[in-house]
Structure formats: C-alpha cells, structure tokens
Amino acid sequence: MEGLWLFVKNVFFAVFVPGLLGYWAPWRWIAGVSPRDVTWGPRELAALIPVALGTVGLLWSIWHFAVTGRGTPAPFDPPKRLVVRGLYRVVRNPMYVSVLTVVLGWAILLWSSSVALYGAAGWLLFHAFVTLSEEPILRGKFGADYAAYCAAVRRWIPGRPWSPPSA
C-alpha cells in the first residue's frame, strides 16, 4: 500500500507542478493558443523533439525520486535517500532541465518570444530556488555524499556520467 501511495503522490505532483508550468502555461496562459491553432510544418515537427525529450526526462527523474529516493519532488515530501541514478548521474537538476527543455520546444513550435521569455524567467527562478533553498537543505541532510556529488555533477549542463564511490 505504501508503494501505491508514493505513486499517487508523484503523479499528483507531476500533473500539478511541471504539468502546469511546462505544458499548460506556455500554451494557454503565455501564448494564448490552443493546439488546434498550430499549422504543422517542418519547424513545428522538429519542435516536438525537445518536447518529447523533456517529457521523457521529467518522467524518468520523477520515477527515480520515487523508486530510489522513496519520496517525491515536492519540497514538503522530499526523497529519504540521495538520488544519483538515471539522469541525476549527468546533471543535478534533471527535472528543471526537462521542464525548461519542454518550454523551449513550445517556444519553437509556437514561434513565440513570450514563451521563450517565460522559459528564461523560469530558469532564473529555478536557479534562485536551487541555490538559495534546495542545495543548502541537501548539504545539511546528506553531508559529504552530497558534497562529492556536487563536485562531480554540474548543476544545469549535462556532463559525463558519474557513479558514486560506493556504487
């Protein structure tokens, strides 16, 4: 039953936070269009690549938070264990990177500077939240393990896959 509850909490988070910020807001709130308004051509089809990659990255990262970390991405229900598997081996914040990749795809698909600016503003807010809140909390919670992870894995730009010394 605990596994089912963990699944429900992660689905709820994925729908309401990244779902609203990465999918609904760029279309309806920022660009003010519906998918029916899109005229499909080569650029629009190519824009689906970052949307698909970001979606897969987001779902994969949430899965690791649940299975490996035994928690959710929500700050009030964080993982119990440090997650350094999957995309977390190549970038420290794959969920944020994934959502921003989706927003980039929407900006290209909609050819919208408003959506691009929304993505840039989102990155600034994510960066502030990560550096001022998330990282200090994780340093306090996971100590030397988190320090080693930070030294080996970049915050925003994917790098070479890293394996923790105990792996």
Task: Report the 3 state secondary structure along 37-52.
Answer: HCCCCHHHHHHHHHHH
pLDDT digit string, tens, across residues 43-57: 999 999 999 999 999
pLDDT digit string, tens, across residues 94-149: 999 999 999 999 999 989 899 999 999 999 999 999 999 999 999 999 999 999 99
pLDDT digit string, tens, across residues 23-72: 788 877 677 777 778 888 999 999 999 999 999 999 999 888 888 888 87
pLDDT digit string, tens, across residues 70-95: 887 877 778 889 999 999 999 999 99
Instruction: Break the chain into its structural domains and give their ranges.
Output: 2-152
Q: What 8-state DSSP symbol labels residue 35?
A: G
In our burial notation (b when 16+ CB lie closer than 10 A, e otherwise), range 129-163 reads: ebeeebbeebeeebeebbebbeebbeeeeeeeebe
For residue 167, pLDDT over 60 is answered with no
Cα gap 71→87, rounded to integer Å: 17
Q: Which CATH architecture has domain 2-152?
A: Up-down Bundle (1.20)
Banded pLDDT at 16 (limits 50, 70, 90) = confident
Cα gap 151→118, rounded to integer Å: 30
